[in-house]
Structure 1
Amino acid sequence: MPVSEPVDIQAMWNERYGEKERIWSGNPNARLAEVVSELAPGRALDLGCGEGGDARWLAQQGWHVVAVDVSDTALQRAAADAGELAARIDFQRHDLMQTFPDGSYDLVSAQFLHSPVPWERDRLLRRAAEAVATGGTLFIVDHGEAPPWASKLDKHVHHFPSAQEVVDGLQLDPPRWDIVRAERAGREAIGSDGQTGSLVDNVIIARRKA
């Protein structure tokens, strides 16, 4: 069988963000606003921050945020939009399969951290869990199934792990962690081109005890 050429992840995502002046709405992810509003602000890590909507919202709520993405294009837009909130946000470029931000965090957020190419996602999420401080929260939201506006091909070939599969892949040590929530949840949403539809999210919240 022919050997696949390695994918330049940074170039791929720069090309994706280069398709339009803006890819996302600029609003925070709905689940983030729903869940994090109940937490006391501290230090947050936003994995796959994109154009910075979540990072800006967290900063507005009083969090100090390290916001990470592999795409220079996305990070440049996020920094340009931060305005006075830039004092609370440290934008960093990382290919998370290669490098990871230093430090520990009261909140580690991975919102829709999917990839169109194969990668070791479970390993990355375990590394994310390691970055959660004692008493802190690991908050993961995934697509539970393809959005209604996804192409038929994407719906057919992409596997969306269940919430329990994500929890199992994390391999969290029960004496050190509480699984607060791990379930499918529906919501109404608007796609990047203005489409409306019903989405299914997998919501995983784990709190570190020790």
Structure 2
Amino acid sequence: MFKIFWLLLVVMPGVSAVADEFRPKGANAYQVVTGDDQEEDRGQWDALFNTQTYVFGRDPAQFLKEVVARLPLGRALDIAMSEGRNAVYLAKKGFRVDGVDYSEVALRKAKRLARENHVSVNTINADLSTYTIRPDHYKVIVNINYLQRSLMAQIKKGLKKGGMVVFESWTVEQLKNGSGQRVRRDYLLEKGELKEQFKDFEVLVYRETNDGRNAVA
């Protein structure tokens, strides 16, 4: 039986990581690109990341820091890696990391962050809607601040025996908060949905909260 770590955050951890002065006009840390044209989507993501500043910061997600000591060393996959903060952190901890993202601009920044930290991250430029995770290949799969339900089965198949998943994403509770007003419901997890999706896994950590600003699960 696989083990799984879960912490689902409805907002970006560390809201201050995306400072107002570096936010593209009309965009924020909670906004999801929803255009139907793939190249338009790519352009919007590239525009978001096209700044010397790291949009989501250089520091890893707090939950990843909390559980990293319990993760089995080996090859790790960071889904929707963006600028590499979590991938680089894992590499510094001794993991061999593959990071996949749609934005070439974000991947270039991830490589830069890796060089600055004297580690290596294998970057993969791909559209996750058509990307295939290599089966039975990873000891750890990290999915933070991203939700694509069609990837759930692939995440499970991509793990080696005894592998672990670290999953963090928004839930529908965020719609009750000011920062969730512009987010489409289908980009949010329903209450208890992720736990149900991984009911065949051993759950080591799971919690759902909403303090009025951050709705987390």
TM-score band, normalised by the shorter chain?
A: 0.7 to 0.9
Identical counterparts, % of pairs: 20
Report the equivalent of 1:168.
196
Q: 2:123 aligns with which of 65, 80, 91?
A: 91
- TM-score (structure 1 length as normaliser): 0.72
Q: 1:70 to 1:54 in 2, by over 3 A?
A: same
Pair 1:178 & 2:193 matched? no
The residue type paired with residue 178 of structure 1 is: E
What value does the CA root-mean-square deviation take over the aligned residues?
A: 2.8
- TM-score (structure 2 length as normaliser): 0.70
If each structure's strand is expressed as a fraction of its own residues, which one has the higher value? Answer: 1
Q: 1:126 to 1:86 in 2, by over 3 A?
A: farther
Q: 1:110 aligns with which of 143, 158, 162?
A: 143
In the alignment, structure 2 segments of 5+ residues that lack a partner are 1-33
In structure 2, distance between residues paired with 1:56 and 1:186: 29
CA contact (8 A) 1:68 1:93 kept: yes
CA contact (8 A) 2:140 2:164 kept: yes
Report the equivalent of 1:139.
166
Structure 1 segments of 4+ aligned residues over 6 angstroms from their partners? none
- Higher RCO by CA contacts (8 Å cutoff, separation 6 or greater): 2
**Over residues 114-169 of structure 1, what are the superposed CA-to-partner deviations in whole Å (9 max), with x where a residue is unaligned?**
4xxxxxx2211221121011000022111234395626433xx4353245212334
Q: 1:108 to 1:5 in 2, by over 3 A?
A: closer
Aligned length: 178
User: How many Å apart are 1:75 and its aligned residue?
Assistant: 0.3
User: How many Å apart are 1:101 and its aligned residue?
Assistant: 4.2
Q: 1:72 aligns with which of 86, 104, 115?
A: 104
SS at match of 1:168: helix
